[in-house]
Amino acid sequence: MTTLLNSLPRTDLNAKLDVAWVRSQFPSLSRTINGQTAAFLDGPGGTQVTQSVIDAIWYYLKTSNANTHGQYVTSRETDEIIASARSAMADFLGCVADEVVLGPNMTSLTFAISRSIGRELGPGDEILLTHLDHSANVSPWQALEERGVKIQFVDIRKGDCTLDMDDLARKLSSRTKVVAVGYASNAVGTINDVKTIIRIAHDAGAVAYVDAVHYAPHGVIDVRALDCDFLACSTYKFFGPHMGVLYGKREHLERLHPYKVRPNTNEVPGRWEMGTLNHECIAGITACVGYLAEIGSKAVSPTTDDQRPTTRLRRELLRTAYRAIQSHERELSLRMLRGLAEIPGLRLYGISDAKRVAERCPTFAIRIEGRHPAELSKQLGERGIFTWDGNYYALNLTERLGVEEDGGFLRIGFVHYNTEEEVDRVLGELRKLA
Ligand SMILES: Cc1ncc(COP(=O)(O)O)c(C=O)c1O
């Protein structure tokens, strides 16, 4: 690996995103609404997909559509496509392929793990959740209350919507068996110090379950460096198809008992995968990781289309890609923070200090005095700007901040295919609406 690293050009350190090339990869970005080019600021709810992802899904259905483990060519191709996607996601997460479980979405995968961990828990055991999390990392654990497990919640600091780490330390004890935490908030954009949280959880003897759904489009994930036990994400949040992916430490995937049908394999990771998977979308996963790796290869040295990145370098190219993505997204965040601060009657929930831009994703939850978030989102939608309103299943957070009864927030979310012009455009519309 050292040799591979040395072979990367030095420009890697200043990886730059080629935004024009990025946008050209997403056919939907040229869509118009009422005569205006659509601005997709709804990434936190699901991102757009590249032509390569669309092609991979189409090509699988056209040529290799079959079930797995058969004695004929399309079935063998299907097995290979699944193996490729697993290996692509292993590079994406920094693990090995048999630690990658594929499933319909993050929520189902989390229920599968919580149910199985729950088999070993009972009265006297505790699980620690947070008020910042999406319900997909809350309800599956809360369901274990029926086994007598006690659920505790880490509170937030309301001022900047960060986790109260003192509260976490207070509530963690030798009774805590699981700490479930989000890598980043899908509502207010806060990036949690998951590495520290995992270390503290381990010190108390608990396993750590990380929801990386919101973080995945914004930063590189390294499950080994984090030392997490489980980490779940959804590929439709990072430019791929509607699928969920779970990393589990091999020892856990082997030791825990999944709820499964008898003929299914007892080997990992297949024992955690229920029924027939969505093969066409799995074909799209490899293309989606390939697209991100290509950003990395363009960032280090602009290439022509026929010089696609090699598999050997994929993990390193992904790291580079995310450096380029992050530096572009931070520019967008700074511009947005400056603009939002100048709009009278507008309140931003979450980190607003430009000096702390690295602690947040470019996901902005706002309210404007006297205006209902749904009404704002509708009006922006009519102007071709797509945003979300409500709680986006971060229900504990909207309740904790006292906005649930009043429509939650208006959420404006940027990803790397968004531009400074789109930031200015949404700011301009918000100014008119305020
Ligand atoms: C932070 C976060 N976690 C979990 C989920 C649930 O993901 P899925 O739809 O794949 O179950 C979402 C979806 O919005 C999310 O934003």
Q: What separation in Å is there between the alpha carbon of 24 and the centre of ligand 1?
A: 27
Using the mean position of ligand 1's atoms as its centre, give its distance from the Cα of residue 212 in Å: 9
Give the Å distance between the CA of 305 and the centre of ligand 1.
Answer: 33
28: in domain = no
Distance 148 CA to ligand 1 centre (A): 27
Tell me if 133 CB under 6 Å of ligand 1.
no
pLDDT at 1: 39
For the chain, count helices (H), then strands (E). Answer: 15, 17
Residue 387 covered by a domain: no
- The closest-lying atom of ligand 1 relative to the alpha carbon of residue 214 is 1
Indicate the SS3 state at residue 366: strand
> Using a 6 Å cutoff on CB, does residue 350 contact ligand 1?
no
Q: CATH no. for residue 219?
A: 3.40.640.10
pLDDT for the residue 15: 78
Does the CB atom of residue 105 touch ligand 1 within 6 A? yes
Long-range CB contacts (within 8 A, 24+) of 141-146: 141/114, 141/178, 141/180, 141/209, 143/111, 143/114, 143/115, 143/118, 144/114, 144/117, 144/118
Q: Which of 133, 134, 392 has most ligand 1 atoms within 8 Å of its beta carbon, as the pocket-test mutant?
A: 134
Q: Is residue 389 part of a domain?
A: no
In a domain? residue 299? no
Please count the CA atoms within 13 angstroms of the CA of 145 that sit on its side-chain side. 10
Q: Tell me, what's the pLDDT at 307?
A: 53
pLDDT of residue 302: 54
Residue 299: what pLDDT?
A: 87
| Ligand 1 contact, 211 CB (< 6 A) | yes
Residue 11 lies in a domain: no
Ligand 1 neighbourhood includes 139 CB (under 6 angstroms): no
Give the distance (Å) from ligand 1 centre to CA of residue 104: 12
What whole-number distance in Å separates Cα of residue 197 and Cα of residue 187? 20
Is residue 100 domain-resident? yes
- Measured in Å, residue 17 CA sits from the centre of ligand 1 at 26
Ligand 1 within 6 A of CB of 380: no
Regarding the beta carbon of 106 and ligand 1, being less than 6 Å apart is answered yes
Identify the pLDDT of residue 259. 97
DSSP 321-359: HHHHHHHHHHHHHHHHHHHHHTSTTEEEES---GGGGGG
397 lines ligand 1 (CB under 6 A): no
**239-279 pLDDT, tens digit each:** 999 999 999 999 999 999 999 999 999 999 999 999 999 99
CB-CB contact of 135 with 186 (8 Å): no
Question: How many alpha carbons fall within 13 Å on the CB side of residue 232?
Answer: 24
Give domain status of residue 260, yes or no. Answer: yes
Cβ pair 350, 365 in contact under 8 A: yes
Ligand 1, residue 211: give the atom nearest the CA.
3
Q: Which domain holds residue 71?
A: 63-285
Q: Taking Cα atoms as reference points, which of 122, 244, 111, 119 lies closest to residue 180?
A: 111
pLDDT given for residue 8 in this prediction:
43
Alpha-carbon span 242 to 303, nearest angstrom: 29
C-beta of 186 in contact with ligand 1 (< 6 A): yes
> Of all atoms in ligand 1, which is nearest to the CA of residue 136?
4
Question: Which portions of the chain are predicted below pLDDT 50?
Answer: 1-13, 311
Residues 17 and 299 sit within 8 Å (Cβ to Cβ): yes
pLDDT at 116: 98
| Per-residue confidence (pLDDT) for residue 308, from 0 to 100 | 53
Cα 139 to ligand 1 centroid, rounded to whole Å: 12
In a domain, 376, yes or no: no
How many structural domains are present in the chain? 1
Pocket test for ligand 1, best of 47, 101, 102, 107 (most atoms within 8 A of CB): 107
Q: Which ligand 1 atom sits closest to the C-alpha of 236?
A: 10
SS3 state of residue 434:
coil
**In sequence order, what are the beta bridge partners of 151?**
127
- Ligand 1 closest atom vs CA 110: 11
Residue 303: per-residue pLDDT = 52
Contact predicate 300/15, CB 8 Å: yes
For ligand 1, the distance from its centroid to the CA atom of residue 134, given in whole angstroms, is: 7
Are 269 and 85 in contact, with CB atoms under 8 Å apart? no
CA–centroid distance, residue 395 to ligand 1 (Å): 13
Task: Note if the pTM is more than 0.75.
Answer: yes
Q: How many alpha carbons lie under 13 Å from residue 404 in its C-beta half-sphere? A: 11
234 within ligand 1 shell (Cβ under 6 A): yes
